[in-house]
């Protein structure tokens, strides 16, 4: 039987007291939620950094097993698909429908997945290539936890439908060899050109690795200042992103890009950063995942993780990351003009090139 006296004596909660307690709990939750959100973002940044560190460790093992050559170059792991003197066409019987073991000439993922003992479909057919791409791009070792719900739609090659946006890209210029030996007196703004032996250089804006450079880790001077892999994936610079899955797609395909110093990059495009003049969807949100996710936010409030060739990881602001010297071997020459239409965003030029125009040698 209910003790009516205890109720009348006030030992039970009144409706007002319950509402006060609920209000206090709601207030505490509203205070704690932002902190919990920041803690989760920090945890994701740490997990992403660990992924990148593991990729670089696998890259170093690959190099140790292959006389110092790095994975992800058309001159190394992708050489089977190259024909001498022609970057545009794969060699021999290879094609988009016959590409055993790799998805693209710059496909570092498949090479490093073998080092990391990750099982995947290494068959040659077009269906095998699609399954291989999907298996690896969604594998936890190759996925940034902040890269969520981003899909790419078909642009060129074979239509695979909507596919997940890759999390990481390789710094493309390190995969090249000089345009000629010795390099030309002036860098010329040609498109990517293949020379005897599968060499690639040129590009827009023009750039050319130094004489004697080859895609071997030992050739990278001061590796603690040079980016190997970073958040971001090469696609178009719009929304939604689109993909070119041909095995010889220029400029790195879906796997590599020249870097955020270039206004023509498709992995780290910064044209919508304040002062750079581009309109449309702010493409920084696809690569700079560890700071502000608000479109058109101030430069450097958007941040990405990058692993350097010595194996250490840094979280860099979007403008900070656009320093040209981070993305190419020392001695590389670039054509420098303060113009996004010519290849360098104004804020990058003002911050890092100190008014130097024409051919500039990167240290």
The yes-or-no verdict on residue 91 having pLDDT over 70 is no
Which pLDDT value is given to residue 9? 54
Q: Cα-flanking dihedrals φ and ψ of residue 90, to 5°?
A: -70, 160
Going from N- to C-terminal start, the domains of the chain cover 18-361
207-235 tens-digit pLDDT: 888 888 989 999 999 999 999 999 998 88
Cβ partners under 8 Å of residue 314, min gap 6? 305, 306, 308
DSSP letters for 254-269: TTEE--TTSTT-SSS-
The answer on pLDDT for 170 being more than 70 is yes
Half-sphere exposure of 39 (CA within 13 A, CB side): 5
Question: pLDDT for 33-87, tens place per residue?
Answer: 776 667 778 899 999 999 999 999 999 999 999 999 999 998 889 888 875 434 4
Spatial contact of 72 and 170, defined as CB atoms under 8 Å apart? yes
Instruction: Give the model's confidence band at 181: pLDDT under 50 very low, under 70 low, under 90 confident, else very high.
Output: low
Residue with tokens 């094609």: 95
Task: Quote the CA–CA distance of 31 and 211 in Å, as a whole number.
Answer: 58
Burial of 25 by CB count in 10 Å (0-12 exposed, 13-18 middle, 19+ buried)?
Answer: exposed
Please say whether the beta carbons of 219 and 293 come within 8 A: no
pLDDT for res 200? 44
Which DSSP string do the residues of 92-159 spell out, in sequence order?
TT-BTTB--S-SSTT-HHHHHHHHTT------SSHHHHHHHHHHHHTSGGG--TT--S-EEEEEESS-
Task: Look at residue 14 and tell me whether its pLDDT is greater than 90.
Answer: no
d(CA 111, CA 233) in angstroms, rounded, equals 17
- Residue 252 carries which DSSP code? G
Q: Is 172 helix (H, G, I), strand (E, B) or coil?
A: helix
Q: Residue 180 — very low, low, confident or very high, per pLDDT cuts 50/70/90?
A: low
In this prediction the pTM is: 0.85
Q: Residue 104 corresponds to which tokens in the numbers above?
A: 């693209």
């Amino acid at each position: 039987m209910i003790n009516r006296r205890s109720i009348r004596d006030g030992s039970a909660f009144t409706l007002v007291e319950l509402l006060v307690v609920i209000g206090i709990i709601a207030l505490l939750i509203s205070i704690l939620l932002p902190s919990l959100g920041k803690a989760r973002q920090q945890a994701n940044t740490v997990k992403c950094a660990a992924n990148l560190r593991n990729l670089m460790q696998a890259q170093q093992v690959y190099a140790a097993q292959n006389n110092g050559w790095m994975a992800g170059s058309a001159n190394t792991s992708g050489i089977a698909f190259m024909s001498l003197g022609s970057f545009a066409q794969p060699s021999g019987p290879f094609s988009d429908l016959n590409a055993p073991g790799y998805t693209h000439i710059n496909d570092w993922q498949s090479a490093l997945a073998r080092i990391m003992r990750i099982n995947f479909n290494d068959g040659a057919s077009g269906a095998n290539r699609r399954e291989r791409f999907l298996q690896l791009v969604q594998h936890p070792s190759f996925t940034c936890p902040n890269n969520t719900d981003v899909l790419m739609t078909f642009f060129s090659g074979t239509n695979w439908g909507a596919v997940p946006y890759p999390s990481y890209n390789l710094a493309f210029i390190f995969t090249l060899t000089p345009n000629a030996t010795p390099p030309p007196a002036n860098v010329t703004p040609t498109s990517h050109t293949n020379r005897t032996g599968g060499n690639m250089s040129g590009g827009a804006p023009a750039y050319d690795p130094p004489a004697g450079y080859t895609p071997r880790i030992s050739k990278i001077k001061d590796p603690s200042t040079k980016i190997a892999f970073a958040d971001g994936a090469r696609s178009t610079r719009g929304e939604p992103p689109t993909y070119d899955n041909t095995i010889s797609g220029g400029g790195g395909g879906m796997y590599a890009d020249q870097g955020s110093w270039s206004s023509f990059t498709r992995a780290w495009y910064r044209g919508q950063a304040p002062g750079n003049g581009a309109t449309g969807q702010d493409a920084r949100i696809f690569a700079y995942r560890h700071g502000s996710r608000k479109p058109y936010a101030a430069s450097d409030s958007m941040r990405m993780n990058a692993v350097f060739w010595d194996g250490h990881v840094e979280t860099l602001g979007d403008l900070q990351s656009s320093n040209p010297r981070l993305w190419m071997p020392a001695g590389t020459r670039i054509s420098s003009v303060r113009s996004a239409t010519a290849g360098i965003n104004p804020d990058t030029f003002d911050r890092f090139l100190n008014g130097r125009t024409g051919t500039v040698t990167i240290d």
